[in-house]
Amino acid sequence: MSSSLAALNRWVDEVARLTRPASIHWCDGSEAEHAMLVERMLAGGDLLPLNPDTHPRCYLHRSHPSDVARVEHLTFVCTREREDAGPNNHWMAPAEAHAKIDGLFAGCMQGRTMYVIPYCMGPIDSPLSRCGVEITDSPYVVANMRIMTRMGAAAQARIEREGTFVKGLHSIGELDPERRFIMHFPEELTIKSYGSGYGGNALLGKKCHALRIASWQARQEGWLAEHMLIVGIENPEGQTHYLAAAFPSACGKTNLAMLIPPEGYRKDGWKVWTVGDDICWMQPGPDGRLWAINPEAGFFGVAPGTSAATNPNAMAMLDRDAIFTNVGLTADNRPWWEGLPGTPAKDWQGRDYDPANGPAAHPNARFTVSARQCPSWSPRAEDPQGVPISAIVFGGRRASLVPLVFQARDWTHGVLVGAAMGSETTAAATGAVGVLRRDSMAMKPFCGYNFADYFAHWLSFDRPGAKLPKIFHVNWFRKGADGKFLWPGFGDNLRVLEWMIRRVGGQAGAVETPIGYLPRPQDLNTDGLDLAPAALAELLSLDREGWCEEIESIGEYLESFGARMPAALKAEQSRIARALAG
C-alpha cells in the first residue's frame, strides 16, 4: 500500500470513529454505483423522478426550506494568524474551529452510510489539476460530485501517485440552521462543513475547494484560482481567442459563457466555445502566457431566468441526465421555473402552486448537468495543458457612470480595475436600490486569504518575459434617462468581445482617457443593430466629475484593507485621480 493511500485510509478511519456511520462506501464513479445511489434516493424520497418521456434520467431534489443558499455569515477561514484571513473573511482560530465543528460531527452519521469520494478538479491528466477527497453522508452530494468533478477510481489513482489531496468532511447533520458551519483550514488543506445539504455548502469541490482553498494553494504555487468563466471566440479565419471573465452574481455569467452570436456574425462564420461558466485556474506557461483550465466537469447553474430566449444552449442540455434542485413541477411532471412557458402545478416545496406563496421555483433553484451536454462545449476543455488566455474581462451591474467597455492601460491598472469592480444592488437583493457593493474580481465571498495579499499576488505576475492577457471592463447594464437599458446585451455582447480581440491583435482603434482606452463609435461593429447613435455615444462617454468621485471611493476601499495593501495599487489609484483632475 502506498504511503498516500495509507494516509487516506488513516483519515477515513479517524472520521469513521468520530461520526460512527453504519457503513462506509468508497465511491468508484461507475454507472452501476450511480444507478444504485439513484435507486436508494428514490426509495428514501431524496429524489423524485421527472417525466421519463421529456426528461429521461432527470430527477428533482427538494432542499429543506431553511437550506437553500450559501451562508456567508457561517463560513469561516481558519488561519493561525487572523491577518492572513483578512477583513474580507470571517475568521476563527483553527483549534477553536476544529473543536466547535468536531463536537457537531461526533456521532452524526449513526444509522447512515459514509461515502468516501475521491475527485479531481480539472482534466485527470492535467498538471494544472488538483485532487481532493470528500467524505459525506449525503447520496445527493455523491450524485452531484459525479457530475461536477472527475470522481472515482481514476482520481483515487492520481491521489495515490501524488500523495497530496484536499480533505473535505461534510455531514447534513440535522439541517438545523443554528447548528451549521462551513470551516476552511487552508494551512491544512482541509474543509469541514456541517448542517447543510445545499450545493455550495455541501459540494466541497466547488467554491470551498476550487476557490477558497485553491486560491491559497495558488498563491503558494504561483498560479491563480479565479471565479471566472472561460469562453473561446472563433473568428471567420478559424482563429480562436480564449477569454476569462469575472462578474458578480446576476450579471449574466452563464449566458456569456454559452453566448450565441447574432445572426450576421453566425453567417460570417463566428463561433463561440464554452470551456467553463464559473471557475478558472490559470498558470503561466513556458511561453509566458497564462494557460487556463476549468476545474469543474459540470454546470451547477441557476434555473430561474434560464430560457430559450436568454440561453438556448443551456436549455438544450437540460432535457436528459440532469438533477434539478428546488424547481417547480408541471402537471405532467416536467421541471418548471419562472421564465419558462406553461404553468406550474407544484412549487419548490411540493405544495400546490399558489402565487400567494411566492414563486414556483426558489430564486436560487439549480440544475446540475455535465458540461459535455452543452451544444457549445469546447473539446479543448479537456486539454491537459489548458487554453491560452488572450484577455481577462471584469464587469459589474452599473446603471450609470461606467462605460460599455474600456481597456486597462497595463497589468497594474487592470488589477486595480478588477479590485474596484462592483455592482449596484437591485430590488431583489435588498431594500436599498442602487447601492454600490464592491466585489473585487467577483471573489469577495470566495478568496481564502487577505484581499490585500491577493492583489499583491495578482501584481506579481507582471515580470520579465510574461506575455499577460490584456484586461478589460464591461458594463452591459447602463441605463438611459428613461430607465431602460441602453445596450441590448445577450448575443450582441459578441460585438464588444470582437473589439477586445481586435485590440489584443493591434487591429482596433480606441481613444486614450484617464480611466483607460475607450472604443470610438466607429470601432464597434454595429451592423444590423437597432441602436441610436446617441445611445451608443452615451454608452461610450466619460463623465469626468462622476469618475473623480468614483476614483476617490476606490481609494477609500483600498485603504480599508490596511497596511498590507500593495503600494503599487495605491499609486495607480493616485495616478488616475491626478489624470482625472487635470
Rounded to whole angstroms, the Cα distance separating 89 from 79 reads: 11
User: In terms of Cα–Cα distance, which of 69, 44, 67 is closest to 176?
Assistant: 67
Binding site feature residues for Mn(2+): 207, 227, 278
Annotated binding site: which residue ranges?
70, 198-200, 207, 227, 249-255, 278, 364-366, 397, 490-493
CA 299 to the chain's CA centroid: 10
* CA quadruple 10, 15, 17, 18: dihedral sign: positive
Measure the CA–CA gap between 195 and 99, rounded to whole angstroms: 16
Residue 107 is placed in which grid cell? 456521532
How far apart, in whole angstroms, are the C-alpha atoms of residue 287 and residue 206?
30
Please list the active-site residues: 251
Nearest partner of 415 among 190, 566, 201, judged by Cα: 566
Distance CA(106)–CA(103), nearest Å, equals 5
C-alpha 472/C-alpha 517 separation (Å) is 9
- Which residue from 300, 256, 248 is spatially nearest to 274, judged by alpha carbons? 256
Which parts are annotated binding residues for substrate?
Answer: 70, 198-200, 249, 364-366
Alpha-carbon gap, residue 580 to 572, rounded angstroms: 12
> Where is 315: in which H helix or E strand?
helix 312-316
As annotated, the binding site for GTP includes: 250-255, 366, 397, 490-493
Query: Can you name the residues that pair with 423 across neighbouring β-strands?
Result: 437
Contacts 24+ apart (CB under 8 A), 536-542: 538/478, 538/480, 538/486, 539/403, 539/404, 539/478, 539/486, 539/487, 540/403, 540/404, 541/403, 542/403, 542/513, 542/514, 542/515, 542/518
CA distance 211 to 219: 12
Whose cell is 480611466? That residue is: 515
Place of cell 446585451: 489
